[in-house]
A = this chain, B = another copy of it.
Amino acid sequence: MRDVAVIGVGMTKWGELWEKSLRTNFVETALLAIEDAGVDRIDSMIVGCMSSGLFTGQEHLASLLADYLGKTPVPAARVESACASGGLALRQGFIEVASGMSDIVLVGGIEKMTDVNGHEATFALGTAADQEYEGYHGLTFPALYAMMAVAHMHQHGTTREQLAMVAVKNHANGSKNPLAQYPFKISVDDVLCSVLVADPLRILDCSPITDGAAAVILCPADMARSMKKPAVRIIGTGQATDTIALSSRKDPSWMESTHVAAGKALEMAGLAVKDINLFEVHDCFTIAEIMITEALGIAEKGRGGRAVEEGLTAVDGKSPVNPSGGLKAKGHPVGATGVAQAVEVVKQLRGEAAERQVKNARRGLTQNMGGTGGSSVVHIFEAD
């Protein structure tokens, strides 16, 4: 396999983008990545998107976007793994460059979620769960993660306040990210007094509904060294599945697919988790970040709540998690999230993260997840 590097990144402001269609938002974002890379062509496109069918009535998505980007007849593939669609797109792009099939590959992620009403959005997101055994019985994702939170609190003594601290940390980071949907700080009290969604989770424990896109350009590492910006190599990739229904898991408070995917990525990179300087992880709900912290090995099993309380995962802590603001503050356009994580890590490793820059960042890890952890994708990046 050839070594692969990221040579360009692009991201536009996230939020309720009623003035931009699916296609215009993607094209604008992809052009930023192409400009950043300084390339005059792309050989292939991979697009991550969870459900353009249910959110916008549009499938055949990659061809549409290749067309509107003016890049036909390049090969274009859409990939889907629910909220891990963006991470999966990055992995498929990595494999395509590593294989020698294509040299310069555009990896994009997009979701346009606010053109439907709340009921429709909840249904569309619910299709990431097992429809026959979960969805049909009325389970939604806040309800599923609430059960995971209760299990974690029961087994490990995780506190309601520790959950809130995840949101507080990520909003503090996100307040320094001009592209974030909600770039403002909140307090623990704000979280604890916010509207109850599914006990114990409140609205400020939940990532929002977002329109957004992100893109990166990949090429072989050898070629990357002659490009405009400093190259960032992808030195590890791991992907894993788990049972799609939460009720089938041995332990609903443990994120096995993330643990397996991270193990593979670290093994490929020849590194341990202590060698990583920053993490962008899938905090779709506050409890998720706590469980991921444990599954990645940043904290011991059951100690994810304490990790955030003790500042281990703060930007100036030992293992900074979500310097971008995470899904909580940056927003969560589901198919775009995994690609945006890569955008943030690349900016950090290039030293371009401005006010939210992690000091001496040389290696970063992204963890993107579908459903309640039915799929996870992990990548490890290193400054070249």
Contacts and interface: CB of A to CB of B under 8 A. Distances in A.
Contacts of A21: 132
A71 B60 CA distance: 28
Contacts of A144: none
A91 B62 CA distance: 15
A82 B60 contact: yes
A227 interface: no
Contacts of A244: 60, 63-64, 67
A74 interface: yes
Nearest to A135: B57
A268 B244 CA distance: 39
Contact of A79 (B1, B77, B101): B77
Interface in A233-285: 239-245, 248, 256-257, 260
Contacts of A370: 60, 63
Nearest to A21: B132
B77 A81 contact: yes
A330 interface: no
A63 B374 contact: yes
A156 B304 CA distance: 70
Nearest to A240: B73
Nearest to A129: B60
Interface in A34-92: 50-51, 53-54, 56-64, 66-67, 71-82, 88, 91-92
A67 to B, nearest CB: 5
A33 B209 CA distance: 40
Contact of A60 (B98, B256, B371): B371
Q: Which 3 interchain pairs have the tightest Cβ spacing?
A: A99-B99, A60-B82, A75-B239
Interface of A: 1, 21, 23, 50-51, 53-54, 56-64, 66-67, 71-82, 88, 91-92, 95-96, 98-101, 123-124, 127-132, 135, 239-245, 248, 256-257, 260, 370-371, 374-375
